[in-house]
Every structure is written in C-alpha cells, then in structure tokens.
Amino acid sequence: MRFLKTVAVLVIVVVAGGYGTFKYMNRTAPQLVEPNYFAYFKNQDAVPEGKAGLFITSLIMPETMRNVDFYTLAQKPMQYIPWPMRNMASADRGVQLIDPDRFYEFEPFTPKKLVDPFGNDRDLDGVPYVDKFLRGEVEWVPPRANFHLDHGYFLLPSRTGGMPTVAAKLINKARHYYYMPGKGSVQGTIPHEAGMKLIVDGALERIRQTYGDIPYRWITAEDFGRARAAMYSLLDEGVDTVVLSAPAPVYSHHEEFNGGFKHAMHYIHEWEEKHDKHVKVV
C-alpha cells in the first residue's frame, strides 16, 4: 500500500512538474506582452512637448550583405512557435552548405563546390566541403513539403555550424540569391535601403520647410546594437519628445508595434532610467 502511495505521489509530481515546465516555456514572448503599442498608438496624445526628435525605423534590407540582419530575421518568428517545437525549429544541426552556382535546387545533385554561410568553401581542418561530400560526410536535405517553393541544401552534421540551421540557410540563400553579382541579381545589391532613403529624405525636406531642422536618426530595426546607439545619441541631444516613424509603414504588430517601435520604446526606457528624465513618445 505504501508503495502504491509513493508511486502515486511521484506521478503527481512528474505531471505537475511537466505541466509547470510547459506553461513556463510557453509564457508570453517578450515582444507580445503588454503594453500593447498598437493601442498606445490609437489612443496617444500626439502633441510634442519641448524639443522634438525623429526616430525613423523599420525593417530594411541592407544594400550589401550583412549576416546579422538575416540572422535576426530568421530568429524573429521563433517567438510564435510553442516549446518544445521551438527548440527543434531553432536547432543547430550542422554546417549548412550550398553550391554557389546551384543554390535554389529541389532535387539531389552532385555539387561542384560547397560554401558555408560565411562564404568559406573549406572546413576548419582545411578540407574542401565538396571533398567531404564525395567521401559521404555531407548529406542532402530536401525541401520542406509544407513550405511553398522551399529549396534543398547540403549539411555537414559532424559538427555544429554555430547558429540555428534555419538562420544559416537564410543567410546562405541571401548571400547568393540577393547579393552575388550575376546570380540572383545583376549587380549583387538590393535597392531597398536606397529606396527607403529617398522616402526618408523627401519627408525630412517637407518637415524642414515647416519646422526647420529637427534632429533625427534613421536606422534598421533589426540591428539592435546600432539601433540602441542611434536612439541614445538622439536623446543625448536633449530631446524631450521622440516621434517614432517608419518610412513605409505597415502598421502591423509583427512589423512595427512588436518590432521597431517596441524596440525603440525599450531603448527610451533604458535611457530614462540612466538619466532620470522622462521622454514623451509620439
């Protein structure tokens, strides 16, 4: 009888512990917790006070390749995937590889060259990845059936790649499909950043015509270090009101209100605590 009670207690402890772990690991992601910045936007007091400054931020595709942008872009959807599936989706399964001349393939093939997300064609031991493929150390990973027009890739599973494989795949694809001259694009550059700059410059000129020179910063939302530094430098100029703006707004939670705008609010709160000063946000 005592044995059965012990077993029952253990079962209860295991079930309770498992349920508690599940609830904790699936707690609201940091970008989804209150305050709701869309509600803030709809109900705000939009009249600036004191010295105003503009903080212009959005997701900007860099003109030339920047790994960090695509790493962050690949990681952002992970907040919506429940645990433990999130751990599986963000796993580092090995060194992700593609053939630089056949980077968008759907069926297995024999590559002539293989490169990793950093552009290297050799492993840490100096052996070309393609030689390891010929020795059977590199495997083909087929496209995911539930992702429209997803492409396959190669994987060296004998060591980790240093980042989630899903991020490595996006970085490697971007490096060749977007930024390799003569491959995905003719010049190997993306005009998104330049196009956003034209919008920003035009808007700033109209603002100057009415209000004169106003301090501003324009930065991509996905490079957190640079964005934080830009916000701090703007506030260090004595700004009393920060006007948050996006050059081509979508006004969605994923793009602005749980993205660039929310990150900007966090930077402002950090600065406020360090300087004991309240900053109004519009």
Helices 261-275 and 224-235, packing angle to 10 deg: 50
d(CA 222, CA 25): 24
- Please, which pLDDT band fits residue 16 given cuts at 50, 70 and 90? low
Q: What is the pLDDT of residue 23?
A: 58
Instruction: State pLDDT tens for residues 101-157.
Output: 999 999 999 999 999 999 999 999 999 999 999 999 999 999 998 888 899 999 999
The CB density around residue 4, as the number of other CB atoms within 10 Å, is: 8
Distance CA 154, CA 139 (A): 6
Both tokens of residue 137?
Answer: 């150390």
> How far, CA to CA in Å, does 247 sit from each of 100, 199, 272?
34, 6, 26
Q: What is the pLDDT of residue 10?
A: 55
Q: ∠ CA(207), CA(208), CA(209), 5° rounding?
A: 90
The domain defined by 34-63+191-281 carries CATH number 3.40.50: yes
pLDDT, average across residues 69-78: 85
pLDDT of residue 6: 59
Do residues 192 and 61 lie in contact, with contact meaning Cβ atoms separated by under 8 Å?
Answer: yes
Only one residue has tokens 């920003």, namely 200
Closest CA to 105 of 145, 153, 137: 153
Q: Which residues of 89-103 are buried (b: 16+ CB within 10 A; e: fewer)?
A: ebebbbbbbbbbeeb
How much is the pTM?
0.74
**pLDDT for res 5:** 57
Structural domain boundaries in the chain: 34-63+191-281, 67-178
Provide the pLDDT for residue 60: 86
Closest CA to 281 of 220, 59, 273, 267: 267
Whole-angstrom Cα distance, residue 138 to residue 157?
7
The H or E element containing residue 185 is none
DSSP 153: E
Per-residue confidence (pLDDT) for residue 29, from 0 to 100 = 60
Contact 245, 54 (CB under 8 A): yes
Q: What angle do CA 166, 168, 172 make, to 5 degrees?
A: 120
